[in-house]
Amino acid sequence: MSVDPSSRRPIGRGGLAVSALGLGCGPFGNLLAEVPDGALRETVAAARGAGVRYVDTAPFYGHGLSEHRLGECLRGVPRDSYVLSTKIGRLLKPDAAARTTGPFASTSPFDIVYDYSRDGALRSLEDSLQRLGLARIDIAYIHDVNPKWAGDALEERYRQAMEGAYRALERLRGEGVIGAIGVGVNDVEILQRFARDGDFDVFMLAGRYTLLDTTALPALLPHCVARGIAVTLAAPLASGILATGAVPGAKFWYADAPPEILDRVRRIEAVCLRHRTPLRAVSLQFPLAHPALVSVVVGMRSAQEVAENAEALRVAVPADLWRELRAEGLIDPAAPLPSA
C-alpha cells in the first residue's frame, strides 16, 4: 500500500480538506537549529510542487518568527490554494532584552504571556494575521493546555480556555470567519476532556500515535471517530528517530533517544531491511491507516526533506511487512494496518 501525499481528507463542516502530508512550520521558527530564509522559500515551493496543501504554524514557534517567515514565503500564492492553521494561547510582548529559551536556536525579541481568555484569543488571531500578512486563518487551535506548559496552573488555564477562547472561536466559526476550530497538544487525557466538553472539528495530536507511541489508540482515537473529530498528527517521525533510524545522537521528543527506544527502532529497522522498505515510509504511512487521522504534519526545513517525505508516502509498503511488525510485537495488535 502507499499514500498520495496530495490526497485530500475533510475537516469539520465548512468544506475544508487537508492534504495527507502537511508542512509543519516549527523549523520556520528555528526549531533546534537556525534555518536560512532562502532554504525556507525553497521548502514552501517544493511542498507546493509535491501537492502539500496544508500548512501549520503557531505564535510560539520562534516567538512570532515562524508566522512572519511563513507569510513571506506565501506572498503571492493564491490564498484558496492551501489550508492554513495557527494557534492561540500565547501572546507575544516586545522585549529588547528577551532571551532565547526552549527548543529554538534563536527567536524574535518577544516574551510569551499565556492568555486563553476570549479577548486573548481574539488578540492572538489578530496578531497572527498581522505577522502572516494574510486576511484569513482556516483552522484555529487552542495550544498547549497541558501539564508540561501549565504546571500547577493547568486547571485554571483549562477553565479559561473553555469559558473564554473556546467560546470566541466557536462564534467565529459560526460566522464563517474561521473554517474549523480545535486543540493542539501532546496530552491524550487533556484532548479527551476537550472532546467531552466542547464541539471541536479537529485535534492536532503531537507524537502520540506513531510506531513508538500509541497512547491515543485505546480511547482518544475511537472517541474522535465517533464524534467526527478529525486528527492531524504532528511529530509523526518522533522528533527525528523514525526518519534517521537508531543512529548516534538520534532524537526522540527533542532529546537524545533513550536505550529502550533505540533498541525498539533497531528492531523495526531490521524488519524494514528484510522487506527492502525505508523506515521513513513505514513511519509516515502507519498513522494514516487509522480512520481518525487526516494528515501527518512534518516539520520540514529544506526542499530535500519535502522530497524525502513525499516519496516516503508514495512507497508501496508490502503487506507482509506490516504483519511481521505486528507478529514481533512492534505494532499494537489493535492498530489498523495500511494493508487492510
Q: How many domains does the chain have?
A: 1
Distance (Å, rounded) from C-alpha 236 to C-alpha 75?
Answer: 28
- pLDDT (0 to 100) of residue 340: 53
Structural domain boundaries, residue 310? 8-239+279-327
- What H or E segment, with its residue span, contains residue 233? strand 230-234
pLDDT tens over the chain, length 340 residues? 799 999 999 998 889 999 999 999 999 999 989 999 999 999 999 999 999 999 999 999 999 999 999 999 999 999 999 999 999 999 999 998 887 777 899 999 999 999 999 999 999 999 999 999 999 999 999 999 999 888 999 999 999 999 999 999 999 999 999 999 999 999 999 999 999 999 999 999 999 999 999 999 999 999 999 999 999 999 999 999 999 999 998 989 888 999 999 999 999 999 999 999 999 999 999 999 999 999 999 999 999 999 999 999 999 999 999 999 999 999 999 999 997 5
Q: Is residue 340 part of a domain?
A: no
Q: 61, 158, 166, 209: which is the annotated catalytic residue?
A: 61
**CA–CA distance, 154 with 148 (Å, rounded to integer):** 9
Which residue in 56, 115, 144, 201 is the catalytic one?
56
Q: Is 254 a catalytic residue?
A: no
Residue 93 lies in a domain: yes
Is 2 within a domain?
no
Q: What percent of the chain has pLDDT over 70?
A: 100
Q: Is residue 272 part of a domain?
A: no
Give 213-218 contacts, CB < 8 A, sequence gap 24+. 213/238, 214/332, 214/335, 215/188, 216/188, 216/191, 217/290, 217/332, 217/334, 217/335, 218/334
Query: Rounded to an integer, what distance in angstroms lies between the CA atom of residue 105 and that of residue 79?
Result: 30
- For residue 284, being part of any structural domain is answered with yes
Q: Which three cell numbers stand for residue 48?
A: 507546493
209 among known catalytic residues: no
Single-letter code of the amino acid located at 7: S
Among this protein's residues, is 141 annotated catalytic? Answer: no
> Is 132 inside a domain boundary?
yes
User: Tell me, what CATH number does 322's domain have?
Assistant: 3.20.20.100
Strand-pairing partners, residue 182, are 141, 202
Count of positions (residues) in the chain: 340
Candidate list 4, 37, 54, 87, residue with the active-site label: 87
Which contiguous run of DSSP H or E holds residue 11? strand 8-11
Residue 273 lies in a domain: no
